[in-house]
Structure 1
């Protein structure tokens, strides 16, 4: 996925989704221009995303508008739930396993299933067996039915009786060290500006709306990559030095701290759009 497309997903997911899901091209160019994207790059990316079914274009005279398709809205809403509402329920000690035997003639669907399982937080126990400490049967059933793979997939719930520890299973199936390193770097990058902005507000200083938008956008844009690799493991299975909890707390606190000014800035940009009613 291109850098410009990722930026547009972030903008629609955190702002435009809450404003009716449609935006004038001029507004998108102005907002994304703050991050170095040219007008031509924005227009080209919007066109490609429309061709791929992520956005729907609408032209009124010389003005172009782009709105979320149901497919894109579903993706953004699922991502938002992973970011803002990660599961916190304790582990019941059981493992949930998915196995499949998919014919070679359907290998393209097998690849899509694997990608979706990774996104849900499953780990590969072996080539055709995937495992999770979370009961995700409802989500798996939805994916399997969407891919028309129900005859080839089985789902089990089991207890681990040997011969390794649960922690060793986690280490085998998920690369938590890499994820923990990511969270540690995220904290190191965003804790200082969060403390600075918080202190300025407590002292009665005003924050520039554009500055708040830029910082909040980049906060979300960087953090968006973590839910797609974070399996959202129960705390009982995480290492003692796990930085994910502080990273999540920092993200949500900083996101809320900048919200009012950032949202006001986006509103001011949207107010410049031509006043044309949607069809």
Structure 2
């Protein structure tokens, strides 16, 4: 398990801790508590202090000194990032599909290619699919989001959004398969299910004997579970069922994640509370 965790970026690990635990405990934590928590995830004290310093310099964390102790909390941009991420993970898009497609077309000059590349990344974040390099599609109305991003990038005059009806010549499912790599995403879901399905069944039996399960183990497993699953909301466009292949595993993986996450929560929180030191006023 630790080998898998250590393949993750140290900054991502800190963000996960804040998003899943610290922001629900006042949002500020002593460096020593972070060191103890991250030690169970394979990070050395020096590595923890180094990543905290980098995140502070980048504006992701605020630092406050009380005597000889340092306490770290989230900045506004970090709070917004974590809130958006949590919404994508725990409250994915849902609803009935109208049958319409929203088409985003742009003609951004080469002199503004940096903004154009940022626009493409944001369209991917929104769950849009690339029909080609300059035409993107979505079954959901993302007009407001596209307008906000285009305005922020200063390229609104180069971006257009259309609402359309697909009349041919491929089927709707074929069109979706062309614009999104659904086969690759489904394969990743299958790997997730193969990995965590047996672990869930094992731990459902083990947790019946509550006192025999180490809270630190539950913390580590839950951390890795969330870390691996949280990638899906950013690669899965959450298409309506009408556009998905018949063997789509997204719903099954989501149900597995939620059940296992909930099963481990009480023990994981017990461990975090045992090492968490809240900052003084």
Q: 1:93-132 alignment to 2 at 5 Å?
A: 93-132=99-138
RMSD between aligned alpha carbons? 1.8
Return 5+ residue gaps in structure 2 as ranges: 1-6
For residues 169-205 of structure 1, give each alpha carbon's deviation from its aligned partner in whole angstroms, at most 9, with x where no partner exists.
1111111111111111101111112112222334666
Distance 1:242 1:32 in 2: 35
What are the superposed Cα offsets for residues 28-56 of structure 1, whole Å, 9 maximum, x if unpaired? 11111111111111111111122222212
Question: Aligned pair in 2 of structure 1 residues 230, 260: CA closer, same or farther (>3 Å)?
Answer: same
Q: Which secondary structure does the structure 1 equivalent of 2:233 belong to? A: coil
Corresponding position: 1:276 with 2:280: yes
Query: TM-score, normalized by length of structure 1?
Result: 0.93
Name the counterpart of 1:258: 264
Compare 168-177 and 201-210 and name the one that shifted more.
Answer: 201-210
Whole-angstrom CA distance in 2 between matches of 1:259 and 1:81: 18
User: Counterparts of 1:60 and 1:101 in 2: how far apart (Å)?
Assistant: 53
Distance 1:205 1:161 in 2: 61
1:119-157 deviation per Cα after TM superposition (whole angstroms, max 9, x unaligned): 110111111111111112222223223223222211111
Conserved? CA contact 1:95–1:160, under 8 Å: yes
User: Hey, what's the Cα distance between the residues in 1 that align with 2:222 and 2:237?
Assistant: 24
Q: What is the CA–CA distance in structure 2 between the aligned matches of 1:276 and 1:122, rounded to whole Å? A: 45
Equivalenced residue count is 275
Maintained 8 Å contact 1:90/1:236: no
Tell me what 1:218 maps to: 224
Q: Structure 1: 5+ residue runs without aligned partners? A: none
In 2, distance between residues paired with 1:89 and 1:40? Answer: 47
Task: Tell me which of 156, 159, 164 is aligned to 1:150.
Answer: 156
Secondary structure of 2:219's counterpart equals: helix
Match of 1:47 in 2: 53
Asked if the contact 2:216–2:271 (Cα under 8 Å) also holds between the matched residues in 1, the reply is yes
